[in-house]
Amino acid sequence: MKITEQIKQPIAYEMELFEQKFQLAMSSKVALLNRITHYIVNRKGKQMRPMFVFLVAKMLNDGEVIDRTYRGASVIELIHTATLVHDDVVDDSNRRRGFFSINALWKNKIAVLIGDYLLSKGLLLSIDNNDFDLLKIISVAVREMSEGELLQIEKARQLDITEDVYYEIIRQKTATLIAACCSLGAASVKPDSIEVSRMRKFGELIGMAFQIKDDLFDYGEAKIGKPTGIDIKEQKMTLPLIYVLNNASKKEKSWLINSVKKHNKDKKRVKEVIAFVIERGGLDYAEAKMKVFQKEALELLKDYPESEYKSSLTLMVNYVIDRKK
């Protein structure tokens, strides 16, 4: 059985019901809207976000979820989908998970409006049910994601990212959404409890590990594989590169910065940068940091009684850093 199927097993019923509720939450009286949202629903990814919501809720509530849990999962998925649709417009990207993006099929204007529609649907789902605590969790996540993206754009121009700034960027850009999923799961069944902030921290740590794993993929799987160098081509400062930059001689540092700034489209030069980063221990350093985040996340689960939900969350934490893509 695939690891994702194994993780999903204790929440299989909830995930099936969630899909029905999610489709209903997206529906509209406008035929074009329904056609596009139908396209989105049929091209879903692994659905890690709702999985986190349900697993956390069931672990904290003796295996029980309530309507609020389904609403929390739907809201996070609606708002996350809205940000992805808008991201594809911003990045001028024609593909999403191997399929055509909304902007590629229906052009930018419609894609932006679809993103706005999904965002408002998410907000109204919370407001109509007085789930203001859940709405706050999600709104903070959206604000942080936007700030993280803008901070990264600002820093990419100067290439002056310290390790601390890098952590702040990935905390906001990637980790805050997973943190929101876990705190939503907790808040849906145990509102105003200490579990809400504890599960937020748990999700944040997983998100940090997840992003560092993505950084490592740019250098090829398991230090062999085919390196892609896409991050370097896009002038993204990732942890392996930051570590090597901070530990290089003045001459090497100037060569590295020059390579990323001015020769990032030169395939040969990008390969040289990748080889240099690997040789100087950039990947080993990033991997060690990723494992620290993983260990801290697992530590937060330790005090909860054993259950199939806790086991699935443990599997999820390990899957994040063991995945092959």
The pTM for the full model equals 0.88
pLDDT at 114 over 90: no
The fraction of the chain above a pLDDT of 70, given in percent, is 90
Per DSSP, what are the bridge partners of residue 96? 99
The confidence band for 224, taking pLDDT boundaries of 50, 70 and 90, is very low
Phi/psi of residue 308, nearest 5 degrees? -65, -25
Look over the chain and give the mean of its residue pLDDT values, rounded to a whole number. Answer: 86
The confidence band for 44, taking pLDDT boundaries of 50, 70 and 90, is low
Provide the 3-class DSSP secondary structure of residue 161. Answer: coil
pLDDT digit string (tens) for 142-164? 899 989 988 888 877 777 778 99
Q: Cα dist. 208→16, 98, 136, 275 in Å?
A: 29, 25, 22, 25
Q: Cα dist. 48→153, 254, 267, 317 in Å?
A: 27, 40, 34, 11
Smallest Cα–Cα separation from 325: which of 175, 166, 216, 172? 216
Evaluate whether 132 touches 140 at the Cβ level (below 8 Å): no
Amino acid at 18: F
Q: Cα dist. 298→58, 182, 311, 312 in Å?
A: 17, 14, 11, 12
Q: What average pLDDT score do residues 292-316 get?
A: 95
